């Protein structure tokens, strides 16, 4: 990707005038899902912090209010209501013209086992 094609050009996007900077080669909004037991092991000190790996990487870009090609998608808070099975993710400045957030809500069901995951989502 040429940084000159990004909104604002190279300097505005942290490239410092070069074609490569500290950004990834693509801009996607994703949700990473980890096994809570792995996170508990990290908190207890029985697993190193870099060991847990996501069991699912969900690309949320198509659901965001801001178009992906503007590189302006910013997520905010995330919450999960286990009783209702609702996942809430806020998109900061979703209504950019009014500087208001958008709250996205999905109904999710827990997987009984990682074998239930679609093949493309398995680690």
pTM flag (> 0.85): no
List C-alpha distances in Å: 31 to 3, 17, 53, 98: 26, 31, 13, 26
**Is 43 a residue whose pLDDT tops 90?**
yes
Q: What is the mean pLDDT of residues 115-121?
A: 51
Contact 36, 42 (CB under 8 A): no
CA distance 38 to 36: 5
List C-alpha distances in Å: 91 to 12, 98, 104: 22, 13, 7
pLDDT confidence of residue 51 = 94
pLDDT confidence of residue 52 = 94
Contact 29, 75 (CB under 8 A): yes
Q: How does residue 33 score in pLDDT terms, banded at 50, 70 and 90?
A: confident
E strands, the chain, in order: 30-33, 56-59, 74-81, 86-95, 100-107
């Amino acid at each position: 990707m040429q940084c000159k094609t990004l909104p604002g050009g190279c300097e505005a996007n942290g490239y410092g005038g070069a074609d490569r900077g500290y950004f990834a080669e693509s801009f996607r909004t994703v949700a990473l899902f980890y096994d809570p037991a792995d996170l508990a092991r990290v908190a207890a000190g029985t697993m190193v912090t870099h060991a847990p790996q996501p069991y699912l990487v969900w690309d949320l870009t198509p659901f965001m209010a801001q178009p992906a090609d503007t590189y302006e998608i910013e997520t905010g808070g995330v919450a999960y209501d286990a009783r209702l099975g609702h996942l809430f993710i806020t998109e900061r400045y979703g209504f950019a013209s009014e500087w208001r957030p958008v709250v996205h809500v999905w109904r999710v069901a827990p997987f009984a086992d990682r074998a239930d995951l679609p093949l493309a989502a398995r680690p």
